[in-house]
Structure 1
Amino acid sequence: MTDAGPESAMRERWAPPANWPAVSHAKVRAMLTAPGQPFEMETVAIAGRPTRVWKNALPTLRAIVEASRAHGDTLCTIYRDERVSYEAGFRATAALARHLRECGIEKGDRVALAMRNLPEWPVAFFAITALGAICVPINAWWTAEELAFGLGDSGSKAIICDAERWVRVSEIRDNLPDLETCIVSRAEAPLEGARRLEDILGTSDAWANLPDQSLPPADIAPDDDATIFYTSGTTGNPKGALGSHRSICTNVLSSKYNLAFAPLRRGEMPPEPEPKTVLLVIPLFHVTACSAAMVGYFVSGHTMVFMHHWDAEEAMRIIERERVNLTGGVPTIAWQLLDHPARGDYDLSSLELITYGGAPAAPELVRRIHDEFGAAPGSGWGMTETMATVTGHVAEDYLNRPDSCGPPVAVADLKIMSLDGTRELPVGEVGELYAFGPMVAKGYWNRPDATAESFVDGWMRTGDLARLDEEGFCYIVDRAKDMVIRGGENIYSSEVENVLYEHPAVSDAAVIGLPHRQLGEEPAAVVHLASGESASEAELQEWVAARLAHFKVPVRIAFTDDTLPRNANGKILKKDLRGLFETAD
């Protein structure tokens, strides 16, 4: 099938300058990847398959954190009144790594990391991975039951968490025999069965006074296991995508590659890199924040500003006070900044780039970022199984194709396959998107069945329906996977449906996504009640909220007198259900 795409309407609203593009996309790519250039490539064997890689990429996360010491007194993180330099952060990382080694953590051991964005998050992440252990970033919004699954499935030997997460973890600790070591940050109450992180490192303002010591010895190769990020499937329990050091380190140069494109397309030389201040508001347990952002910032020497929780006006205060240059993450952030009634009260002129992925964005948003903030808009596509960045574009290329997520970076390949996976489709036709490259995860942890289904000869079957244009720009047109994306958070319909089915009054249920201007989508449910049973919308919402993270709770629930419509194969015809909510409006 073909899809002409709606980009033509947006192009009429943004008129490219007369001299743009000054250089073709193909020529820019050739310039950036030429021998001797920062983005030069070479071919290596990964799992026996020849694969293009960035020749100049740092080989491991250990190498990245060691190199970050060169940034010295440059601020690494800002959180409220806490300011931590790269040197202080490294000293804390080395001290924590040595403590973990004393606790028996060795190469290949899994160590969970569950906390909100705090200065100790990157310290813990690099301390774990610098030992050759596998970091398991856990969704901090998960319930105790969900945390129990992630910790048990990964076989985590230790956990580093904040006090909020410890309340939940302590409830399930007795059911996790592999969990030997628990370290808790910012705990005010006495701990039973855990040690305070501050007793190991001190508070963040004291990290600069820690001993100047090296990381413990570790033998780590680029393709060794580094991380397990959990992502849900359309059925069953979440799956852990196993990433290598190469997978995550690839993103450092991939992000820089995308940013270098815009000036060259104008016929200008890219500016000399310089440290920026970034308001990083998306959770670090997402690959977008961890892999596509934080790890690269350690190479560039950027300063990351964290927030306790997202609030648009507080974000504007921070942007003004800290002279923030970059922000974004998901489209929701940009929408709320643009539409906030107090926006005119703050000086946001320091913003240079607002970039995001993780959720579809309206073309209107791209134009407004450019027109109202005077900042460059940027977008990209990736997924947990690709450790984030596969495609991307910024500035004029994004304004010119606002419904595209950009072309693949030079070390990545995309192809569009027929839905049965038997043939590659030509340019312009819609099919399932497959991705290949050094960023692709090694497979799913302890799930050979799911790995065999989704990872085919090194290619990741994304489950997204997409098309490619003549220049290789990718357009995601739909999702084959039954999923709602709310502000960058994946909500798998079957998971919520299964919880609804557990309610004694529910005999049939389906979850769909309703369009939302800022969040992209919100979950809604259609329910048929069993004969003689009754339940209200509020009752069912409370039922789900008691069992799943809050962002998975349907914002609206419609009731139908009949069982839900299905096709001949018994699959619910979800496209027929959205009309129920339009009628309700």
Structure 2
Amino acid sequence: MTTANESVAAYREIEAELTGPDGPFAVIDTVVGGETMRVYRDTPTSFDEVFAEAVSEYADDTLFVEDGVSYTYRQVSDAAGLLAGSLVRDHGVADGDRVGIAMKNRMAFVVSLVAIGRCGAIAVLFNGRESEGELAGAVADAACVVIVADDERAAKIRTRDKETDLVVVGDGDLPSAPACRYDDLLAGGEPIAAREVPDPDSVSWILFTSGTSGRSKGVLLTHRNICTLVVNLRVIKESNIALNARKYGMEPEALRGLMPKLSALLIFPLFHTSGLASLLTTMSAGGFAVIMPRWNVDAAIELIDEYKLSMLAGPPMVIIDLLSAEPPAEKVGTLINVSPAGQATPPDLVSRIERVMPNAARGVGWGMTETTASVCTAGGDLLATHPNTAGATSPVMEVRVVDAAGQALDGPGATGELQIRGPQVMAGYLNRPEETAAVLDGSWYRTGDLGYVDADGLVYVVDRKKDIVITGGENVYCAEVEFTLLASERFTEVAVFGVPDPRQGEKVVAAVTVAEGLALTADDVRDIVRESLAAYKTPTDVVFDLGPFPRNATGKILKRKIRENFLR
């Protein structure tokens, strides 16, 4: 039995070997944004370079399976080259222009992502689950030259935006001009060579994260951000191989030869950093992903069995559904990595995974869109001996703990707000200088999460400072839902909060006081939210009998007390 001290010592020793001056992932100091920070010496320059390396090594291997059809790395690359040429020739896309993607997971999403980088543009990844109004706000903020969208998203966009060029993926009716079909561009395209990236700290991708003022915020991720994530994923992979090889008395190469090719069920949407991390993890290993556009547990079990998939990452609700279905061991026995992600993991889920799928290792991490996915990870013996940790920070990332006044707290175990610094921290928010300034303290990112760092440098997240609910892997900002309800002028008091839910992780609850003279049902309240916001932001429970709401001396609603009353 490995002890806690032994697991940390082994992890740190391997980390030092991999990231030392002679290691394959050597870490050096460089100046980023006027400040010196740690970076990987051999960081790629762009996502296009990362993809080109994968194509060079795995050209004729399968990268995606969609609707039973397999597509190789070369096929995706060739399609991306044709689309890139068409975007430049037919739509006038130039270096630094913004090109949007708005669609569910499908091969065309990745082709578009590669193509946009290849023609030197910035990829804007719209949240395909947002309502028409929310999507319209994001489209207005981004000011794209052209947007590649599937039928459903194209129709939503054109309802509010009559001018932006649309490239439509699908066989439905084309929206009003300017619009053309994705397939036609590929059929008539001429490929172009990839553009060089002039500045690693220029913006490469823009991802949207839920906001509190009725509009989601565009997170500006640079080439350095994305490529650092890619190297981080490689470091995690090699660390796990080295640690397991040492544990079982083998050479790393011998263990690597026994490992199955990485194959994943792609569940997280690709407009989320979790989905992109799953894609990059698979692609960097020369593996393949089976696209599942809509979650269905029975279909998932059949896909795992048919393609002998080895990795499953998704919100805890996905893992819970799979376990609750009690699949036959022979159908899911190929899974060796099961990772609940995107939100807090229910305490009993780990033991359930071990019981139903004993061959599957579990990993945890901590991060957010603003930090280009996870900056902390743990698995194997390290997680077994420290089951509550979010993991060790990446070799190039720093974490500190600060008090309410913003002063750094010294010593292990001191609890405060966790702040992060390093080459994975975003460049800022799109068109939001004040909100950018509010979350960046110089090069330190204020996460809004409360936690501590132990004597071994492992990070623990204990609570959230932000008023946010994470349900089914999606962020719901309570203030946004409250604003929507109050704007209807049917309520005198509204408080929205989250409570634990065994399947979704958390569920959204709305406590309301209805305006005098009105009679509303819970469904009426939900309908008000659905009219303006995405379906996942709709309250699961609505309560009418918790008022008058408790307030402090300044009149602020004490939501904590309302939540406590609800849970009684």
Same fold (TM over 0.5): yes
Aligned to 1:9: none
Please give the residue correspondences for 1:160-171 in structure 2 after superposition, counting only pairs within 5 Å: 160-171=148-159
- TM-score for the superposition, normalised by structure 1: 0.90
Aligned residues of 1:366 and 1:402 also touching (Cα < 8 A): no
Q: Which residue of 2 aligns with 1:128?
A: 116
Find the partner of 1:407 among 384, 392, 401.
392
Counterpart CA distance in 2 for 1:297 and 1:201 is 25
Quickly say closer, same or farther: Cα 1:346–1:500, change in 2 above 3 A: farther
Corresponding residue of 2:378: 393
**Within the alignment, does 1:26 sit opposite 2:12 as a pair?**
yes
Q: How does 1:47-446 map to 2 (within 5 A)?
A: 47-70=33-56, 71-102=58-89, 103-174=91-162, 179=164, 181-193=165-177, 194-201=179-186, 213-235=191-213, 237-265=215-243, 267-268=246-247, 269-270=251-252, 271-272=255-256, 275-290=261-276, 292-341=277-326, 343-344=327-328, 347-373=331-357, 374-446=359-431
- After superposition, the C-alpha distances for 1:198-218 in whole angstroms (9 at most, x for unaligned) are 11225xxxxxxx999553544
Does the Cα contact within 8 Å between 2:209 and 2:218 map onto a contact in 1? yes
- Is the 2:546–2:562 Cα contact (8 Å) retained in structure 1? no
Whole-angstrom distance in 2 between the partners of 1:212 and 1:31: 46
Alpha-carbon contact 2:415-2:450 (below 8 Å) kept: yes
1:538 aligns with 2:523: yes
Using the alignment, how far apart are the partners of 2:413 and 2:389 within structure 1?
13
Corresponding residue for residue 485 of structure 1? 470
- Cα distance change on mapping 1:249 and 1:296 into 2, 3 Å: farther
Q: Aligned to 1:24, what secondary structure does the other structure show? A: helix
Cα deviation digits, residues 148-202 of structure 1 (max 9, x gap): 111111111210110111121120122xx5x2x2101013224432111111225
Number of residue-to-residue matches in the alignment: 556
Deviations 1:494-515 (A, max 9, x none): 0111111123321110111110
Q: Are residues 1:510 and 2:495 paired?
A: yes
Q: CA deviation at 1:399?
A: 2.5
In the TM superposition, 1:466-477 aligns within 5 A as 466-477=451-462
Structure 1 CA distance for aligned equivalents of residues 45 and 314 of structure 2: 26
The offset of 1:221, in angstroms, is 3.0
> Is the Cα contact below 8 Å between 2:37 and 2:423 reproduced in 1?
yes
Q: Structure 1 residues 481 and 18 mapped into 2: Cα distance closer, same or farther (>3 Å)?
A: closer
In the aligned structure 1, how far is the partner of 2:406 from the partner of 2:77? 47
Does the 8 Å contact 1:72/1:87 carry over to 2? yes
Contact 1:60-1:220 at 8 Å conserved across structures: no
Per the TM alignment, residue 539 of structure 1 is displaced from its structure 2 partner at its CA by 0.7
Task: Measure how far apart 1:466 and its partner are.
Answer: 1.0
Cross-structure match for 1:205: none
Amino acid corresponding to residue 91 of structure 1 in structure 2: D
**Does the CA contact (< 8 Å) of 1:425 and 1:431 recur in 2?**
no
Could you give the per-residue CA deviations for residues 32-76 of structure 1, whole angstroms, max 9, x where no partner exists? 212232221111111111121112222111211222222111111
* CA distance in 2: counterparts of 1:366 and 1:351, whole angstroms: 15
Identity of aligned residues (%): 31
In structure 1, give the amino acid aligned to 2:144. S
Query: Deviation per CA, 1:68-87, whole angstroms, max 9, x where unpaired?
Result: 22211111111112211100
The answer on whether the counterparts of 1:124 and 1:160 sit within 8 Å (CA) in structure 2 is yes
Residue pair 2:451, 2:462 contacting (<8 A) in 1 also: yes
Structure 1 vs Structure 2 CA RMSD = 2.1
Note the residue ranges of structure 1 that are not aligned, 5 or more in a row: 1-14, 203-209
Q: Using the alignment, how far apart are the partners of 1:416 and 1:260 within structure 2? A: 29
For 1:485-543, what per-residue CA distance to the aligned partner results, in whole angstroms no more than 9, with x for missing partners?
01210000001111111233211101111101122101111001112222110111111
Does structure 1 retain, via aligned residues, the 8 Å contact 2:85–2:190?
no
Question: How far 1:120 sits from its partner (Å)?
Answer: 0.7
Which letter does structure 2 place at the counterpart of 1:182? L
